[in-house]
């Protein structure tokens, strides 16, 4: 596939053949996918795959879990979070910076954590090059406890985990939403968790998918007694 031939046609086909069939109908999100060019965030080696329904490797390929998620997964996650212009957002797993760019277009500010220093630097550079000024990419391990401080209106985990840590739930503001792909292969589900009070959270599991693991989050024991 040669995206230089007709990238707008390929982008149109991505939206119509991959994203709409995944029940993404929000016109503002569909417009974002037209205006924020995914190919700008894809490594040069894989630029021809920018609009394909697949995970795209990032970094040097030595860590299989470092990927861009499929366009449909990113778009549906963004829609289900109902991000508002006043929201502060935490993303764990910046990757290429594409999801952070989408979030930044919807929110007031975004902090995106990336465990790989080279990826963090590359994502920050790409975001700056594309004029995204309200996203900070920070080299950090998102599995470690967050420093005490402000809570977030939206938290996005751009990868899968076995279970959602309580520390991340506690980092949500009242009314805040967290999106995480939870479970183990071959069965994972998107969890949209809303903090309804100081001590209560509600969970929806609207769709199934499978995604690579975010590094360093705890795994359940494989042994039982």
User: For the residues of 138-177, what is the DSSP string, one character each?
Assistant: EE--TTSPPPSS--EEEEEEEEEESS--HHHHHTEEEEEE
Nearest in space to 73 (alpha carbons), one of 49, 55, 57, 87? 55
Q: Per residue in 102-127, pLDDT tens?
A: 999 999 999 999 999 999 999 999 99
Distance CA 7, CA 133 (A): 25
Better pLDDT: 222 or 4: 222
Instruction: Provide the whole-model pTM.
Output: 0.94
- What are the boundaries of each domain within the chain? 7-204
pLDDT tens string 122-159: 999 999 999 999 999 999 999 998 877 779 999 999 99
The answer to whether residue 222 scores a pLDDT higher than 60 is yes
Q: Which residue has the tokens 């309200």?
A: 134
194 pLDDT band, cuts 50/70/90, is: very high
Alpha carbon distance 167, 145 (integer Å): 7
E strand or H helix at 92: strand 88-92
Would you say residue 5 has pLDDT above 70?
A: no
39-53, 145-159, 195-209: least confident range = 145-159
Residue 150 has what pLDDT? 75
Three-class SS of residue 117? helix
Answer whether residue 61 shows pLDDT above 90. Answer: no
- pLDDT at residue number 149: 73
Among candidate residues 153, 148, 142, the one with its CA nearest the CA of residue 119: 142
| Both structure tokens of 124 | 């920050």
Per residue in 62-114, pLDDT tens? 677 799 999 999 999 999 999 999 999 999 999 999 999 999 999 999 999 99
125, 145, 144: which is closest to 135 by C-alpha? 125
For the chain, the first-to-last Cα distance in angstroms comes to 52
* CATH dotted code for 7-204: 3.40.50.150
Give the tens place of pLDDT for each residue, 12-34: 999 999 999 999 999 999 999 99
Q: What rounded mean pLDDT belongs to the chain?
A: 93
Tokens 């549906």 appear where? 76
Cis status of the peptide bond prior to 186, with omega within 30 of 0: yes
pLDDT (mean) for 191-200: 97
Q: Which residues of 168-185 are buried (b: 16+ CB within 10 A; e: fewer)?
A: beebbeeebbbbbbbbee
């Amino acid at each position: 596939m040669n995206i230089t031939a007709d990238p707008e046609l390929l982008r149109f086909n991505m939206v119509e053949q991959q994203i709409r069939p995944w029940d993404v109908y929000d016109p503002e999100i569909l417009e974002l996918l037209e205006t924020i060019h995914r190919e700008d965030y894809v490594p040069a080696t894989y630029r021809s795959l920018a609009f394909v329904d697949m995970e795209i490797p990032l970094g040097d390929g030595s860590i299989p879990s470092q990927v861009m998620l499929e366009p449909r997964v990113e778009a549906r996650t963004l829609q289900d979070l109902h991000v508002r212009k006043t929201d502060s957002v935490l993303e764990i797993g910046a990757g290429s910076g594409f999801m952070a760019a989408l979030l930044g277009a919807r929110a007031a500010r975004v902090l995106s954590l990336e465990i790989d220093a080279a990826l963090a630097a590359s994502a920050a550079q790409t975001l700056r090059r594309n004029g995204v000024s309200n996203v900070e990419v920070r080299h950090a391990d998102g599995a470690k406890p967050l420093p005490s401080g402000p809570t977030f209106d939206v938290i996005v985990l751009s990868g899968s985990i076995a279970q959602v840590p309580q520390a991340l739930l506690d980092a949500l503001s009242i009314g805040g939403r967290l999106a995480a792909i939870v479970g183990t292969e071959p069965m994972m589900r998107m969890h949209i968790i809303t903090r309804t009070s100081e001590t209560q959270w509600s969970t929806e599991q609207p769709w199934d998918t499978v995604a690579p693991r975010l590094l360093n989050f705890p795994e359940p024991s494989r042994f039982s007694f």
